[in-house]
Chains A and B, each alone.
Chain A
Amino acid sequence: MSAERLSAALLVVLGALANVALVLLSAPFFQGVQRRLTARVQSRRGPPLLQPYFDLLKLLGKEDLESGEAPGVQRVAAYLALASILATACLVPLGFPAPLGSAGDVLLLLYLLLLSGVCTLLAGAAAGSTFSWVGVSREMMSMMVLEPILAVALCVGAVHARSFRLEAVLDGSPWLSGAPVSGGLMLVVMLLAFQAFAGRVPFDVAEAETEIMDGPLSEYSGQKLALFRLAQMVKLVVYAALFVGLFVPWGSGWPFPLGFLFFWAKAFSLVVLVALVAATHARYRVDQAIRRYSVLLAFSLGAVVLAALGR
């Protein structure tokens, strides 16, 4: 192997580590911001911005209780949940080109995101309590409608970019060719569905603390819970990065500090939006949520047809 190829490979590994470190470190901070913001809306002072880090540290230091039906599977589900979302993080641009962006295509991205959802199902099934099973069935119903919306969004981009390569798709591809009709439609759909992807009120039906006691996670504690919580925080950042890369990439090409800061400002505003929506809504019932997803799915299918027609 030539020295050039070796240094290129090293660069990719370092880049992937950088992406992983970036999302791992920033995700709890974003949640800290969300909590503070929520507190302000609720006339409370709210916790310190760094509280989510403390919470995670505390959970990591706690006794690891094994209360579910299949403790081994529960453990694997927790590791896999974080691992799959971190792998996804290497595929999306975070203010600079994605380190593994050329290693996979849109389908890989979809599979990895699906895998993180499957981990939740696995966790609930392994826990085996009544409430976790209710959570699993709700999560499954939501996934069946939500995942296609994401797939369609990426397809719209792929059709316009005439490529499934991630570098091409996650660079504002919906605006690349023809009239921006399908891109605009998809942008609106994804914006409306974003709260559901983030798994927050009004769409947190699969966890719904006051109904089914956190559903799939109801038998989790200690380290495993910490991993799941961290995975959920990272998920929000990754989805925000995906959204920015797909629909609003402008400015990402600017020289280093500017483009980087501009990217995170955009991701940050999405996070703020999620917190504000969560603070001003009541939770939907699972059937009401699914009905809303279905309408969004219908519109997104319309968008992909339009994209195929070159619109």
Chain B
Amino acid sequence: MPSRILLSKLATRFGPAIERADLPDPDRLFVYVAPAALREICSHLFGELNARYVITVGADDRPFSGKYLVAHDFALDREHVLGSVMALLPPDAPRVDTISDLVPGANWAEREMRDLVGIEPVGHRDPRRLVLPDGWPEGVHPLRKDFPHDKVPEGYDPGRRFAFQDPPAGCTVVPLGPFHPALDEPAHFRLFVEGERVRGCEYRGFMVHRGIEKLAESVLGYDDIPTLAERICGICGCVHSVAYAQAVESAACLEIPRRAEYIRTTLLELERLHSHLLWLGLACHLVGFDTLFMQSFRIREPVMWMAERITGNRKTYGLCLVGGVRWDITPEVRSELRQALATLEGEWRTLLSAVGGDRNLKARTRGVGVTSPALVRQMGLVGPVARAAGADIDCRRDHPYAAYDRVEFDVVTAQEGDVWARLWVRLEEGLQSIRIIRQCLEKMEPGPLRLDLNDALPPGRIGVSSVEAPRGESHHFVVTGDDNRPRRWRVRAPTYQNLQGIPAMIQDQMLADMPISLGSIDPCFSCTDRLETVDLSSGAVRTYGEAELRALARGGPREGQGRKHGGLV
């Protein structure tokens, strides 16, 4: 169903509430609706039309339209449509009805919108902060356009604490994190444990916010941002830079050279190979199986080598630019890659048979961290987590980008929804990745690597792009702007949705299954946390006071002297 048909469906039902619609492509739809009708239209879209919830974006559009913008991004995977339902809100007291009761997966996104842009989701049942530190002053919203990127607001209250829930009767609280051997990055889970059973859990994260979106919207230019986007994540950096570039290209209606598309595809699949091996290693480490951990890292090494041959870097390839790529795959490198792939495929098949026959590993992962198809829909879970629970979704096939419409591959799914199924889906996907890279090397046609972009990009256009990262769909939303930079850039990493499914996955499980259940979604906290200001005050034993810690971390003299970059670390 092209977006035109979807629009006419919405128009017949909601007629006058629809104010404007943009259909830049048959597979994109941007509908502006009246704020009062937004909730009802979303209810129809996510309920009756079966759209998949992607993300909610809030934006301060006052300098341009005089209003605030709220957008609910959705995907119709079968019909190959990606889009947004948007509403413009009045500049004084921006409020919009929550959809988090209709779509539970919108819980975080709406809280984030309240924290950072100051748009109130009316009726949201969780009034607590998500992203901002506990001591951050009320009513200060860092993503508003009148908030400078380097401002440190007055009135930070170090004594304020996050209002955690009380544990249910009979349960003790087991803290997992902020620092724990099973977490590679800081995140804080409070597990409510009865004996060895986990009865519930609460999450407080967003401890490593780096202000990436604010920086892009106020300081950098279009072509600087891929470099920054790549650093959102240490593992799927290429995914983020490609997703950003595609969102801008889609907004500005740029068609990039085909050779660049093949090169992007190749590197994205190399990244998937390396990420899946890294995940397998870490997952095995979590269940105490260090031999497979070491072996999968050994197999991973040649993948890094391949990336280095193409781009000069093992990671953070610096590949992507708006309009194309930087690095070419020369004929010489191409034959080296083919050889390396042949070896890799052999090793990968050995790995598959070794893991497949491991009853001990199976005993630890079967029936653990189970997701139901209903949970996948409610929370908008993506990637191997969704596919292992029978949801046949994959952006590479459903919303094709780069060269994915020109290569053949299978989307691997499983039905059980447990950790074992996720493991199996990832391992099988590796073979598909090898298949895709081979086809890219085969079909790659000669031509330029990037467009010559001499004119300014048109401002005020909206672009969205979904890239199937190793962990699931990475979704980028861009509104183009003046001064050679976007007005609004919203990144939704796959972990943002998958992490919200964790409480349901670990409910009534053994405590021992918590690390592997969490590990099985391959959580990336740096992707999820990507925004605004450091929280130094949460939870840790306070040998040092916060001021002392700040002074230690930033060098004493700057304390209290109007720190230039104090708010953004």
Contacts and interface: CB of A to CB of B under 8 A. Distances in A.
A64 interface: no
A282 interface: yes
B291 A280 contact: yes
B295 A286 contact: no
Nearest to A131: B174
A210 B285 contact: yes
A284 B289 CA distance: 10
Contacts of A205: 512
A213 B180 CA distance: 8
Nearest to A282: B289
Interface string A32-53: 0000001001111000000000
A210 B174 contact: no
Interface stretch (B338-346, B358-366, B547-555): B358-366
B289 A211 contact: no
B155 to A, nearest CB: 35
A288 B181 contact: no
A204 interface: yes
Contacts of A138: 196
A134 B174 contact: yes
B375 interface: no
A43 B292 CA distance: 10
Interface string B265-303: 000000000000000000011111111011100100000
B207 interface: no
A13 to B, nearest CB: 42
Q: How large is the interface on B (under 10, 10 to 19, 20 to 34, 35 or more residues)?
A: 20 to 34
A261 B366 CA distance: 46
A84 to B, nearest CB: 27
B291 A42 contact: yes
A288 B366 CA distance: 13
A294 B298 CA distance: 38
Contact of B196 (A38, A201, A279, A286): A286
A282 B284 contact: yes
Max count, chain B CB within 10 A of own CB: residue among A44, A208, A210, A280: A210
B448 to A, nearest CB: 43
Interface in A278-293: 279-288
Contacts of A253: none
Contacts of B284: 282
A257 to B, nearest CB: 37
A202 interface: yes
A44 B181 contact: no
B393 interface: no
B294 A43 contact: yes
Interface string B498-530: 000000000000111111000000000000000
Nearest to B193: A134
Q: How large is the interface on A (under 10, 10 to 19, 20 to 34, 35 or more residues)?
A: 20 to 34
Contacts of A209: 181, 288
B182 interface: yes
B186 interface: no
B172 interface: yes
B175 interface: yes
Given A42-B295, A283-B364, A287-B510, A130 B175 contact: yes
Contacts, number: 82
A210 B175 contact: no
Interface string B60-81: 0000000000000000000000
B289 A281 contact: yes
Contacts of A211: 182, 511-512, 514-515
Given A282-B364, A285-B364, A208 B512 contact: yes
A44 B196 contact: no
A286 B195 CA distance: 12
Given A43-B295, A43-B298, A210-B285, A285 B513 contact: yes
A247 B510 CA distance: 37
Given A211-B514, A285-B510, A286-B512, A279 B287 contact: no
A284 B364 contact: yes
Contacts of A279: 290-291
A283 B174 contact: no
Contacts of A213: 180-181
A284 B363 contact: yes
A41 to B, nearest CB: 6
Contacts of B364: 282-285, 288
Contact of B361 (A43, A201, A208, A282): A282
Contacts of B293: 42
Contacts of A286: 196, 510, 512
Contacts of A281: 288-289, 360
Interface string A269-304: 000000000011111111110000000000000000
Contacts of A137: 195-196
Interface of B: 172-175, 180-182, 195-196, 284-291, 293-295, 298, 358, 360-361, 363-364, 510-515
15 contacts: A38-B290, A43-B295, A131-B174, A137-B196, A201-B289, A208-B288, A209-B288, A213-B180, A281-B360, A282-B287, A282-B361, A283-B288, A284-B364, A286-B512, A288-B364
Q: Give 9 nearest A-B pairs by CB, closest first.
A: A283-B288, A42-B294, A282-B289, A282-B287, A285-B512, A201-B288, A210-B286, A210-B182, A279-B291
Given A42-B295, A283-B287, 20 more contacts: A42-B291, A43-B294, A43-B295, A43-B298, A44-B294, A130-B173, A131-B174, A134-B196, A138-B196, A201-B288, A209-B288, A210-B182, A210-B515, A211-B182, A279-B290, A280-B291, A281-B360, A283-B288, A283-B289, A285-B510
Interface of A: 38, 41-44, 130-131, 134, 137-138, 201-202, 204-205, 208-213, 279-288
